Amino acid sequence: MNKVLVVGSVALDSIKTPAGSVDHALGGSAVYSSISASYFAPVNVVGVVGDDFSKAHVALLKKHGVDTVGLEVAKGKTFHWKGEYPEFGDAKTLETHLNVFADFDPKLPKGYETTPFVFLANIHPGLQSRVLDKMKKPKLVVCDTMNLWINITPDELKTLLKRVDIFVLNETESKMLTGIGNIIAAAKAIRAMGPEIVIIKKGAHGATLFSDGFSFSVPAYLLESIKDPTGAGDTFAGAFVGTLAAAKKIDKAALKKAMAHGTIMASFTVQDFSVGRLAHLKKSDIARRFKEYVALTQL
């Protein structure tokens, strides 16, 4: 089966939501997306952790079949993010400590450079570009980002976007990047920057995919309560890429299935802090929720 290469942050997160809080819990864009993708396709991960990173966290990734040879251990502290969700809306960043990511020079272990599917999970766009430079003709490049990089490194992000096939971002970010509030018009402007396909996520209101002459919306999976929205976007994107990597071909049907898998996997992530629910799913949990989701969305 096609493999997915993921590059992104591997983090220790301190998070507060109306449902509680955690301190230095396992997180990071590469962690959520790798575990999520691993339910659909094998994953190689590229990133860096400090010498404070627990071996149990690496073991958890390995348990999911994630190849961690590309996860460098550097002297110093692991990337640390502190965030708050006063009302489960967009995250409010309180602190970002790049730590070992500040001097990270990604090296791809032998064989990684031919991985056919690449997911550039949220991290500095310069770093995403450097990993892409080392790849040999990937079949599909999917990219995510966050408000911080749109704000402080817009030029590097725009240079990267020229080399990306599918760009995933949320509604607020699409407005920041384009200055356009209407998501159809914003998606058109972003597609003109390079990506053939743009997916705009709207949190609890689902997501829409925009392609040439083809758009497709999915609602969120209905949940009565959530604990922590952190990682929902990364989880969505990981499952999306993993599903495409497992598909025979990337057509409309595969894109629709990938959007549905992204949505239901994200719904598991928000039901607990960190990867508490995401990392402990059985295939039958996913199949059951997928069936319910199909029933919920069918006209």
Token digits of residue 194: 């390079």
For ligand AMP, the binding residues in 187-216 under the rule CB under 6 A are: none
Reduced to 3 states (helix: H, G, I; strand: E, B; else coil), residue 50 is coil
Output DSSP code: residue 274: T
Q: What minimum distance in Å lies between the beta carbon of 147 and ligand AMP?
A: 9
Binding segment (CB under 6 A) for ligand AMP, from list 23-31, 58-66, 111-119, 248-256: 23-31
**Between 17 and 29, CB nearer to ligand AMP:** 29
Reduced to 3 states (helix: H, G, I; strand: E, B; else coil), residue 265 is helix
Q: Using CA atoms, how far apart are residues 249 and 256, in angstroms rounded to an integer?
A: 12
Work out whether 28 is an interface residue with ligand AMP (CB under 6 A).
Answer: yes
Q: What minimum distance in Å lies between the beta carbon of 291 and ligand AMP?
A: 25
Work out whether 294 is an interface residue with ligand AMP (CB under 6 A).
Answer: no
For ligand AMP, the binding residues in 57-86 under the rule CB under 6 A are: 81
The only residue of 148, 192, 223, 294 in contact with ligand AMP, by rule CB under 6 A: 148
Work out whether 231 is an interface residue with ligand AMP (CB under 6 A).
Answer: yes
**Between 231 and 242, CB nearer to ligand AMP:** 231
Work out whether 96 is an interface residue with ligand AMP (CB under 6 A).
Answer: yes
Q: Is 198 exposed, middle or buried (0-12, 13-18, 19+ CB in 10 A)?
A: buried
Q: What minimum distance in Å lies between the beta carbon of 28 and ligand AMP?
A: 4
Q: Using CA atoms, how far apart are residues 71 and 252, in angstroms rounded to an integer?
A: 34
Of 260, 261, 168, 268, nearest to 210 by C-alpha is 168
Binding segment (CB under 6 A) for ligand AMP, from list 22-30, 44-52, 67-75, 276-284: 22-30
Work out whether 13 is an interface residue with ligand AMP (CB under 6 A).
Answer: yes
Output DSSP code: residue 109: P
Residue 46: which residues within 8 A CB-CB, separation 6 or more?
Answer: 5, 6, 7, 30, 70, 71, 106, 108, 112, 131
Q: What minimum distance in Å lies between the beta carbon of 80 and ligand AMP?
A: 8
CA torsion sign for 100, 120, 208, 200 is positive
Work out whether 37 is an interface residue with ligand AMP (CB under 6 A).
Answer: no
Chain residues that interact with ligand AMP, rule: CB under 6 A? 9, 11, 13, 27-29, 81, 96, 122-123, 146, 148, 230-234
